[in-house]
Structure 1
């Protein structure tokens, strides 16, 4: 593709054409200027994989492990490969720019998008995000790092004012972005919704112009988050180059031209913003992507292999009493029973919710992964894997798309689209689709027979449900719009004539779920029909202007006590019990924060109960952030499994049965309870503001300063082997300090260890954290092998703090300790080094 002559184009573009370039054409594309051969370029979410340009009826994608899971690999090289795979899949989806990675700080356990970010630690976040960006951009796809800055909660996220000291802003929240600019140079930034110290980020000259461009020397393009623009003049003056999505809400031609010709907005400001948009388009065109191509699935087995490796390395072994793990199907003579219990065992918990979620190409559940592994390892040996639910987790009834059949026998439900309501004489569908999901968001549905902008239409979903057992089943639906469920043409659920507001959809726009119970017979075929009308049909007043959506599902109706008793009965006869629990995208999602740190429902009671009747319990926790574990001392094995993407079940089984030696380390401190977290008193919006009262003492920095032992510390993780560190030393060069340590695998299994380098100041002039992570390296060692590991770090970066009096970084003349750790609370080596003078500096 011929490069754009940006400066020549600026002279040729008319003022209205320039203004049109400063906002998107639609949800996913920029505005083309055909007269001057300026094409549109396409963007796509994101952080967990490349969805493409559709929420509804999207082409399936490979789902990556969630951000906190990927960071727990502590493996830069592996996550570079993850970025490479993302770039490849972007090209297959006709996408020029990936809206990610996300590197906000997981300030506390309750954040709805904590799973999507990487860590509580800014340096771990910065190194991980740089690795992913380098992988993406080396593949000629543009990365859009987000959300700049302090979008660390969902509560009132579009208007909350983050009150924060300059020091905390610099040392914690801006730091991962700063490291990314230094080490990866992302070609695009996305601004956060929130305010920082009284001013929306998307119109902050201080953050966008003074810090990002002037101080850091960055020269890419800044786009808004979706509907995250709040002004015309202020956002343009600050350098918010592109308003998204389109069509524009603020940069309409008539008003903006008027502001320019009346000298409210300088023409140079328009040109400056246009210049960055044109450079962005030029960067995007380097990919050679054809945005008009058909979107394709990536079915390459190498993708599955890589995702399985990332998933395996992300798992953190937190507890292994009596070496209960790895499991050995050959250990017992005679029949062996492995009980798999829990609400996540047969569920596809591949990602959290919101814009990070996508239609996964496939998902291996933990149960399937375990069953397949047992078959592989046990062969003809009599090992029986039995399952029961044990506890409920879903907020709403589960998706039944994968177990429904159409009239012609295809998996899923048939969707017929109409312009008029059910019961209208002569009603004929204008479109038909097959959906393998019954949780559908229609925000980007389009059809040639629907006028542009038309939001009123109707959809009938129809399919056949055949129960596996005779029982009472619950059916239910929630919607943005109206919906009714019919079973064999009899109305059983009405979410149309009487509606109540709920939290359906990731922005909490829809109704509550309405339910009804009916008795069904095993093996009998029942016709299920859902009549749905889009948002304009709803009687509720909705602040958002989305087209709409509907979630409907079903499951056997049991009491919590019945499910629990079945689990206890199974656990009594089992040799080993694997409980797979945690959270889901209904509990961790964009749009809302968690109300507390507990696992909802009966999961805690389940773990207590099965532990009382069986001493050999292993808990596999699937969450994107910490949860309370009141039963932790009763289980022998504990694995933090995150949301593991397509290959989550295989990755879990690989670790459980020892084909992968766990090497993940926690990217997040797990406190015993929420009240111990440093953000506890200052989380969420209070009258439109949030005070970051813990200042720089986020995560492990806080726990160490107040001498409070968490449940599991930052950087912690066990292995099936053991390691020894010796001969730690630090060597200071002109601009660097290099820390070297010898690492030996002293156990009987091959495995990988993470060398974590923390730095502490011997006698600081101000209060500083006891130590701070500055870099890390992962090393693979065969049993008995020793390797020397060296980590070179910028001297100024690892010794500096933000001097709020000088408004500069200060590296003090002082003695420092390079602390080599196996985790934040397990320092195994100390190398002393010194600096010769005070140095003030700015930049990256």
Structure 2
């Protein structure tokens, strides 16, 4: 343990102003002479990437994305997931996990909606608190992010969020409050955006007044990467660590501010003290950050991630089908299957996570086609024929080339990367290593011997086409490049003249493309020269190749569906469409996927549609009033490394779909409450302003208040089992209410039930949403048994923020406790009086 007082006294002012900065992209500065070790951080929140380089990090466990975890509604399970990630962090030598992300689903098209739990603050906060406890049980700190209102990727570094105090307190701050007060979070990450005119990273009202003084937070605050703008206000606000290196704001500028008297040395001491407390909490003096990062594949961890994926997969619809004697399509009866059509662009590619900071290298890739073929295919006891057709393509950019179609000069799979220091491609080769795909990324960490401040590479190998004809080659780069194929220059941008785009966090170029004639099986020799840019610390290159698209691609899928006992069509998005760095512009599925669904359902009514997307999509083919709509619809969102196995368990009835929607699925994008205020306005001069004009009416609160029809309501989800709800018993005491509801399984298989408790004020003398979720209980009820659901509502369930008093106010009066299966499916209501 570090003697904090002794360590502080051993540091000069210069040292103190340096220790509050990063040493590199992922580590803080160590001062061994004062006994202060470096603290290593790693991106999450759905896995631990590690430092890594080139391919994106050390392979690790990929747990379901935040929205899938939100769909579990399972607080205890989130603690188990957090514990697993704490173990993973230790395997990677990381002391700090950069997550969880508890920003709200203000809009269905946010670029990082998939990372966050829910549109509801109580659900988000309860899940986050449990996750935090799980991670920190292994002496690994979290940084609950992004504090606060970082709900869009549009102009995220500068946008000024304008929000009223009550909405801020009751909605957007609430998940952070629960993570701190109930979870005991050791760390917070500040947001990029401004809040009511002040950058979040230097907002004293947030970082000191609310976080530390009001909530009693005793941890550290780290900036989002490159998210600090001015030393004096950030230090005085209580920002402990500026990340990453090289230092831009703290360091010498902070030291100068102290010498000018703009910041006291006592304030700097407080910032440093919090870092030393962190070092003790994570036992940084005992855990060397330089340990070799490990990839561990444990059966019990695969089982946990599979259980989480199952628990977060939502059965949206499972209607009777005439072709099945008015029985539902799901679960499938494997014994009756002889021919199964597996269709859709996501069925044969692992789309289990979104892009950006939440991405990492998985321990392996399994697709739905893999899992179904293993379980019911020709070599299984079922012995069914499993036919795959993609039907459509949904690439946003030319597809990254996978290892199976690449060969290094030595014949091994992948490509070869040769590194030289300096950006001019003329330096001596210092490192040679393989690359598993045609995309490489550097988050500040480089191979030993390679200067992260500037290097150049030669990437070589061959591409093995699987079809004849013209192939489209595309490159997106953060730096200068030139690419040759079979010795001839194909595409280049040596002077970085291409405009910048949304790719690679806004540092990437627009995609430069060219056409390459190929013959199936004939290798194409590739030679790419690429260097880092001088303008940022993040470096990446993406080389894509798109093969010719058969004219009958969709027709083949439809024919396969028509000839099958059952069709499973997996549509959705991927990490190119849903990623940090930009928001989607539409809820519509990319490409012609809607047409694919309609044609497949028309060809075979025994169709299961799986929506593999990280946030809501338009589903007109799910309208029950449409006779051509899909009868069976599942969504796992992005369910992590065991997504394929969990979906197969559910399809075959080996597991119950346990998820309930943590977000409302609107009929169309224009229906959502922030639609008119999603993009920042620029009416005045300077940075854009994003107005949270919908106030408290976010998500289901809005749809209920405006009586707007939705495609699927918040909290919705079906089970294969059936259950009845008995009359609830309420026990009200000391402004708290305990609700007990007996749930009886009436079917021959277990039922998953989530009893949701909403509070409705009977005659409020103030504006408020009609329904607000305040408690829930998730149960698995075995056939013929009765289990009590117990919902606990404490006094916070009946409070509101009083703007005039600048404080919470518990409103006495009558309230209805509405017990429901979703925000639109009320089962019971019971009145209580709160005095």
For the criterion TM > 0.5, the same-fold answer is yes
**Equivalent runs, 1:52-451 vs 2, <5 Å:** 52-57=50-55, 58-253=57-252, 255-285=253-283, 288-322=286-320, 323-331=328-336, 336-375=338-377, 379-403=380-404, 404-419=406-421, 429-451=429-451
Q: Is the 8 A contact 1:68 1:116 kept in 2?
A: yes
**Equivalent runs, 1:659-738 vs 2, <5 Å:** 659-687=654-682, 688-734=688-734, 736-738=736-738
Please state how far the C-alpha of 1:286 moved relative to its aligned partner. Answer: 6.6
Change (3 A) 1:321 1:495: farther
Q: Is the 8 A contact 1:96 1:287 kept in 2?
A: no
TM-score (norm 1): 0.93
Aligned to 1:524: 522
TM-score (norm 2): 0.94
Q: Given the alignment, which residue of 546, 562, 572 partners 1:555?
A: 546
Please state how far the C-alpha of 1:355 moved relative to its aligned partner. Answer: 0.8
Question: Which stretch shifts more, 353-362 or 276-285?
Answer: 276-285
**Equivalent runs, 1:444-843 vs 2, <5 Å:** 444-451=444-451, 454-455=453-454, 457-496=455-494, 499-503=497-501, 505-536=503-534, 544-546=535-537, 548-558=539-549, 562-633=552-623, 634-687=629-682, 688-734=688-734, 736-794=736-794, 796-836=795-835
Q: Deviations over 1:323-366 (max 9, x none)?
A: 1011123225xxx3211111111112121111111111112112
Q: Is the 8 A contact 2:189 2:224 kept in 1?
A: yes
Please state how far the C-alpha of 1:553 moved relative to its aligned partner. Answer: 2.2
Q: Is the 8 A contact 1:506 1:589 kept in 2?
A: no
Q: Deviations over 1:204-227 (max 9, x none)?
A: 111111111111111111111111
> For 2:639 and 2:30, how far apart are their aligned partners in 1?
38
Q: Deviations over 1:682-702 (max 9, x none)?
A: 102112101101101100001
Please state how far the C-alpha of 1:274 moved relative to its aligned partner. Answer: 1.6
Q: Deviations over 1:534-574 (max 9, x none)?
A: 325xxxxxxx4135321112232116x53222222322322
> For 1:207 and 1:793, how far apart are their aligned partners in 2?
27
Q: Given the alignment, which residue of 43, 46, 49 partners 1:48?
A: 46
Q: Is the 8 A contact 1:582 1:623 kept in 2?
A: yes
| Corresponding residue SS for 2:282 | helix
Q: Deviations over 1:457-483 (max 9, x none)?
A: 322222233333444433322211233
> For 1:600 and 1:350, how far apart are their aligned partners in 2?
17
Question: Which stretch shifts more, 459-468 or 222-231?
Answer: 459-468
Please state how far the C-alpha of 1:98 moved relative to its aligned partner. Answer: 0.4
Please state how far the C-alpha of 1:234 moved relative to its aligned partner. Answer: 0.8
> For 2:159 and 2:817, how far apart are their aligned partners in 1?
39
Change (3 A) 1:567 1:503: farther
Question: Which stretch shifts more, 748-757 or 566-575?
Answer: 566-575
Q: Is the 8 A contact 1:401 1:413 kept in 2?
A: no
Question: Which stretch shifts more, 257-266 or 322-331?
Answer: 257-266
Q: Is the 8 A contact 1:94 1:291 kept in 2?
A: yes
> For 2:37 and 2:374, how far apart are their aligned partners in 1?
49
Q: Deviations over 1:509-546 (max 9, x none)?
A: 2222233333433333333332323325xxxxxxx413
Q: Is the 8 A contact 2:423 2:532 kept in 1?
A: no
Structure 1 residue ranges without an equivalent (≥5): 537-543, 837-844
| Corresponding residue SS for 1:85 | helix
Q: Is the 8 A contact 1:21 1:274 kept in 2?
A: yes
Q: Is the 8 A contact 1:140 1:286 kept in 2?
A: no
> For 1:117 and 1:372, how far apart are their aligned partners in 2?
33
Superposition RMSD on alpha carbons, in Å?
2.0
Question: Which stretch shifts more, 347-356 or 413-422?
Answer: 413-422
Q: Is the 8 A contact 2:368 2:648 kept in 1?
A: yes
Q: Is the 8 A contact 1:363 1:648 kept in 2?
A: no
Q: Is the 8 A contact 2:147 2:189 kept in 1?
A: yes
| Corresponding residue SS for 1:760 | strand
Please state how far the C-alpha of 1:720 moved relative to its aligned partner. Answer: 0.8
> For 1:535 and 1:94, how far apart are their aligned partners in 2?
29
Change (3 A) 1:749 1:712: same
Q: Is the 8 A contact 1:726 1:742 kept in 2?
A: yes
Question: Which stretch shifts more, 411-420 or 620-629?
Answer: 411-420
> For 2:132 and 2:216, how far apart are their aligned partners in 1?
18
> For 1:36 and 1:584, how far apart are their aligned partners in 2?
47
| Corresponding residue SS for 1:631 | helix
> For 2:725 and 2:407, how far apart are their aligned partners in 1?
58
| Corresponding residue SS for 1:766 | coil
| Corresponding residue SS for 2:710 | coil
| Corresponding residue SS for 2:484 | strand
Please state how far the C-alpha of 1:252 moved relative to its aligned partner. Answer: 2.4
**Equivalent runs, 1:26-41 vs 2, <5 Å:** 26-41=24-39
> For 1:770 and 1:96, how far apart are their aligned partners in 2?
43
Q: Is the 8 A contact 2:420 2:450 kept in 1?
A: no
> For 1:345 and 1:78, how far apart are their aligned partners in 2?
27
Please state how far the C-alpha of 1:18 moved relative to its aligned partner. Answer: 1.4
Structure 2 residue ranges without an equivalent (≥5): 321-327, 624-628, 683-687
Q: Deviations over 1:713-745 (max 9, x none)?
A: 000001111121112122123363211110111
Change (3 A) 1:464 1:257: closer
| Corresponding residue SS for 1:398 | coil
Please state how far the C-alpha of 1:497 moved relative to its aligned partner. Answer: 7.2
| Corresponding residue SS for 1:392 | coil
Change (3 A) 1:380 1:16: closer
Question: Which stretch shifts more, 486-495 or 65-74?
Answer: 486-495
Change (3 A) 1:11 1:498: closer
| Corresponding residue SS for 2:712 | coil
Q: Is the 8 A contact 1:363 1:647 kept in 2?
A: no
Q: Is the 8 A contact 2:37 2:284 kept in 1?
A: no
Please state how far the C-alpha of 1:261 moved relative to its aligned partner. Answer: 2.6
Q: Deviations over 1:288-322 (max 9, x none)?
A: 42211100002111111111111111110001122
| Corresponding residue SS for 1:580 | strand
